[in-house]
Amino acid sequence: MCHNFFILLPGPLPAPRSHVINTPASYPSGYQGIIMPVVIVKMRKGWSVDQKRTIVKEITGTLVRTLNIEPELVTILIDELELENIGKAGKLRSDTR
């Protein structure tokens, strides 16, 4: 199985106040840019839509809890790969089945 997770996070966030969820209105004055965690999940083709829904829900929940941000700021990209496009240990995965 090939599972790679790439998480692109913004630079340092302002320290969240424990009772306030980070929203654009709570960012420091003069802050520019969009706080936008983007997670790229690269995996082999063949997972069901329900499994992908679960992946999106769980990763989003983790980032919301960890970064204290709104779920609307989280983007998950799922990149499905054919086994012929994945190499491991010098061989194509499609050749090692």
| pLDDT on residue 17 | 43
16 CB-near residues (< 8 Å, 6+ apart): 22, 26, 68
What pLDDT does 8 receive? 56
Active-site residues: which are they? 37
In terms of Cα–Cα distance, which of 11, 61, 62, 19 is closest to 36? 11
Dihedral sign for Cα atoms in the order 49, 54, 57, 63: negative
pTM, entire model: 0.63
pLDDT at 25 over 50: yes
Which domains does the chain carry? 1-8+43-97 (3.30.429.10)
Local confidence band at 27 (pLDDT 50, 70, 90 cut-offs): low
Closest CA to 69 of 4, 25, 3, 8: 25
With a pLDDT cut of 90, the percent of the chain lying above it is 56
Confidence of residue 6 (pLDDT cuts 50, 70, 90): low
